[in-house]
Each structure stands twice: as structure tokens, then as C-alpha cells.
Amino acid sequence: MRKITLTPRQQREREYYENFSNKLKNSKISFNYIDYQGNRPGNSYWDFYDIVFHQYSEDKNKLLDFGCGAGGASIQFAKYGFQVSGFDNSPGMIKVAEHLAKQHNVFEKTDFTVQTAEKLDYPSGHFDIISGVDILHHIDIEQGIKECYRILKKGGQAIFREHIEIPVFDFVRNSKTGLKIIPKNYSAGHITEDERKLNKKDILTIKEIFRSVELKRYLFLSRLDAFFSTSQYSPTPTFFEKVDCFLFKFLPTSQKMGGAVVIILKK
């Protein structure tokens, strides 16, 4: 493994997640995404997993978990049948991922390494699928997406779930009143110094690199679920998720207000 030289931002991210990894050693993984595939329409995480699962075939099973963190997604994809590689900037997170892979009997189907998203060791045209959950807002978008394009096979897909900036909502959300009602870490649980939501400029950058970019929007009225104790792993859609599905179908312009997105990139 080559020696990794970190930028100041990458160093701050590593230090944060090295500390955070200490809290994850006894993490439990729910396999509801596998057991109840697609049962929660209107939820970006459930749709993300469902979309990735549907890419699997015996001759199309080489998947990269892009910024794997503690390996929760990697382990689920390995359980589903994928041969999974995963990388993270934090050695501590990689240790947790390896521990959990052994615990869930998928260690032989996973390969975790310490790398940075902007300069990967994988050979060009290596992966059938790249997947990433809430990772792009932690990295240099242009360099990270260029690496995705390089290491994907021709015809391969990269699928990401991300938060995206909605100016009218984010202005209110980041106001003193908004932060008083819902502090920054209320729903996210952990927020690093440098992270930010994706914006229009980021999407344009991605579109300059990939020939095919599809965006699926979520989280319009369902952002109100932050006020309720709703389990992310429950297969039952919330009332507001059902309303979002209805609005997005019959009032397509409302999709512009969706604060979460699944991005599907095809090479």
C-alpha cells in the first residue's frame, strides 16, 4: 500500500472519524433492507439499497463501497451476494468494518483498505458497481467522481445517496431560529467541520464527467419526520413519505423541493 499524503481537509476528516470509530465497535446491523426489499417507497435509503440490489448478477458482482465507514452497507451487499471492496480514510473505521464482517460471516467476501476517495489504488475498469451512502459531501467532488469513472467498467453504474441543498429550506434551517428548533446534529448524529450538502454546481460537475446522470428526489414533506421517533430500518413508509410519493407523481415540480437524492451514474 502506498503512503497516503492527506490534505488538511482529509486530515480533519480522518481525525474526526478515528474518534467516532471508537463508538462503533459493538454496532448492530439491520438486514431489513434485504429482507423487505423496496417495501418503503418514498425513502431514499430504502430505494438506494433496492436499486443497488437489482444490479446484482453472478457475472456482475464486483462492487465498491465508496467511503465504506464502519462497513454497514458493505456487509449487507456481501450478504446479498456481491464481492465487496470498501475503502475509508480512517484506519479506525476500517478496523470496525473488518470486525463486523467477521462477526457476520462475510469476511471472505469483503476487502477493506485505507484510501482516500480522490486518489484510489484500484485498477481502471475494475468494478461493475460503485455505491456510496452520504459520502460525496465529505470529499472533493470533481476528483472523487473522476476516480469513480476511471475504476468503473464500461457499462457499469455508480449509485450514491446524498443530501442536496434546497436554498429556501436551508436558509430557514440554518437560521438562528431553525438551529434552535433542530440543532445541526439532531438527526444526523455526527457532522464534520468541512462537510456540506451537494449543490447545483456539484451536480453540474458530475454531469461533465459521466455521460448519463439520473437524479431521484426524496425528502420534501417527509423532512418533518425528524420531529418523530421513526426508525430508519422499519419497512413501513411514514405518512409524510406517502404524501411525498403522491406529490412527486402528480405534481412533478414539487420534486425540486426534495432535500435528498439518489444519483445514478452510468459509464
The residue ranking higher by pLDDT, 24 or 78, is 78
Instruction: Please compute Rg for the chain using Cα positions.
Output: 18
β-bridge partners, 65: 86, 131
Residue 104 confidence (pLDDT) above 70? yes
What pLDDT digit, counting tens, does each position of 160-196 carry?
999 999 866 554 555 555 445 555 554 445 678 888 8
Amino acid 2: pLDDT:
62
What pLDDT digit, counting tens, does each position of 238-249 carry?
999 999 999 999
> In which residue are the cell numbers 428548533 written?
181
Residue 143 confidence (pLDDT) above 90? yes
* Domains by residue range for the chain, with CATH: 15-23+31-266 (3.40.50.150)
What pLDDT digit, counting tens, does each position of 108-129 carry?
999 999 999 999 999 999 999 9
Containing 62, the helix (H) or strand (E) segment is: strand 62-65
Whole-structure pTM value: 0.92
- Of 79, 129, 68, 65, give the one whose Cα is nearest residue 108: 79
- Of 91, 67, 82, give the one whose Cα is nearest residue 15: 91
Phi/psi of residue 114, nearest 5 degrees: -90, 115
